[in-house]
Amino acid sequence: RFATLARQPDDPLLRIIGQHAADPRADKIDLGVGVFRDEEGRTPVMTAVKKAEAILLETQSSKSYLGPEGDIGFVRALGDLVIGDTVARDRIVGLQTPGGTGALRLTAELLARSGVARIWIGSPSWANHAPLFRQAGVEPALIPCYDVNSQRFDLDGFLAGMDGAAAGDAVLLHGCCHNPIGIDPDAAGWSAIADRIAADGLIPVVDLAYQGLGDGFAIDALGARTILKTVPEALLAYSCDKNFGLYRERTGALFAVSPDAETGTIVLSNLLALARANWSMPPDHGAAIVRIILGDEALAREWREELETMRQRLASLRAMLAAAGTIGTVDLAAVAGGKGMFATLPLTPTQVQWLRDAHAIYMAGSGRINIAGFNTAAVARFHAALHDMAAQ
């Protein structure tokens, strides 16, 4: 049977990682893969995480199975932190998932089970969104709503695109720090989107994977909260992999808001059954770390401070990049208005390739750059490379 399979294309971003690793040029710059980096280019384990791991090593007395819901203490603490009392507690159910991706996968399967055939997604979006929903039987419908040239979110375009949606369709929203554009709706935009979703009877799916890396931890949840408090039914897919630096530990959660508590218990029973059939139970380590941090005032403070330092590093790199204004056809000033790890520059694939060949600057073919891949020297080199490109 295997002979019937068609070969799948390599992940283009993984290919870039390989090419970057093989490049012997000492001053090469990696703006490809989406992980946070410090000024030295490292992706360190956060100090609060190290301390929580030490506590876990001392205190964990068993590695026996938990259950498909994962670490309930983690889910509660995270739900309190992110959703708080935005929605009545008895309308919310949640479970731990393998990363934000696991949460999105369960979302997709729950939607499919609920008879939802379509999910509307602003385009461009994270490259995994469309295939993930499609594979679970929910067809993605793309709404072009980001203008790469001006690097603006086109709210009117997004709302107009939703004209095509029928009641019961789902809509995907990036909670903050849009990947790959870096531009989020403002407060008025979130309200308009929430009202529209409620009026049209759509089901919002909020993907919150970068809380704390945009305007600040509390502010970054405001869009998600605006949506959750406006609608009867919603899903919130959460990732701790960026804001706790846990990436490979695959730490996330899915929260579902239902019209009432009784519906919530039915939703949870479906989510648990789907989790059981997918991965049976999520990996424990990352969730245990987050639970320990959130349950310890001093550790929680330390984590928030480290996260804030990361956020400020991204903001100051954006300012440095933007200070050059427009170089050739590339408006870098717009980068200052973005949030989080990503921006997408108006570069053609040929220009992206040229920057790689001539200057050892690696980025996704779409022109997406990871802001955290820069340091002070790399920003100067990048500006010089763009000037060189403009002079060609």
Active-site annotation, residues: 126, 207, 209, 242
99 binds ligand PMP (CB under 6 A): yes
User: Does residue 252 belong to the site contacting ligand PMP (CB under 6 A)?
Assistant: yes
Upper half-sphere CA count for residue 303 (Cβ side, 13 Å): 27
Q: What is the DSSP letter of 215?
A: S
For position 241 contacting ligand PMP by CB under 6 A, the verdict is yes
Q: Is 344 in the site for ligand PMP (CB under 6 A)?
A: no
We find the least distance from the C-beta atom of residue 107 to ligand PMP, in angstroms, to be 11
Spatial neighbors of 206 by CB under 8 A, at least 6 apart, are: 173, 174, 175, 223, 224, 227, 228, 234, 235, 236, 237
Nearer Cβ to ligand PMP (43/269) = 43
Stretch that binds ligand PMP, among 95-103, 157-165, 296-304, 356-364 (CB under 6 A): 95-103
DSSP state of 8: P
Classify residue 266 by burial, with Cβ atoms within 10 Å: 0-12, 13-18, 19+.
exposed
CB of 4 to ligand PMP, least distance (A): 30
Q: Which is nearer to ligand PMP, 307 or 330 (CB)?
A: 307
Nearest-CB residue to ligand PMP? 99
Which of 239, 258, 370, 375 forms a contact with ligand PMP (CB under 6 A)?
239
Q: Angle of helix 297-322 relative to helix 285-294, nearest 10 degrees?
A: 100
**CA pair distance 178, 265, nearest whole angstrom:** 32
Nearer to ligand PMP, 151 or 211 (CB): 211
- Calculate the CA 198 to chain-centre distance: 24
**Could you count the other beta carbons within 10 Å of the beta carbon of residue 192?**
17
Is residue 34 near ligand PMP by the rule CB under 6 A?
yes
Q: Is 101 in the site for ligand PMP (CB under 6 A)?
A: yes
Question: Does position 207 bind ligand PMP by CB under 6 A?
Answer: yes
Among residues 32, 70, 100, 161, the one that binds ligand PMP under rule CB under 6 A: 100
- Contact range with ligand PMP by CB under 6 A, out of 41-49, 94-102, 303-311, 323-331: 94-102
Taking the C-alpha atoms of residue 241 and residue 260, their distance in angstroms, rounded to an integer, is: 31
The Cα 209–Cα 250 span in angstroms is 12
Judge whether 274 and 110 are in contact, CB under 8 Å. yes
What's the min distance (Å) between Cβ of 392 and ligand PMP? 33
- Is-contact 342 210, C-beta < 8 A? no
Q: Which of 96, 151, 179, 230 binds ligand PMP (CB under 6 A)?
A: 179
Shortest distance (Å) from residue 240 CB to ligand PMP: 7
Residues that bind ligand PMP (CB under 6 A): 34, 99-101, 126, 174, 179, 207, 209, 239, 241, 252
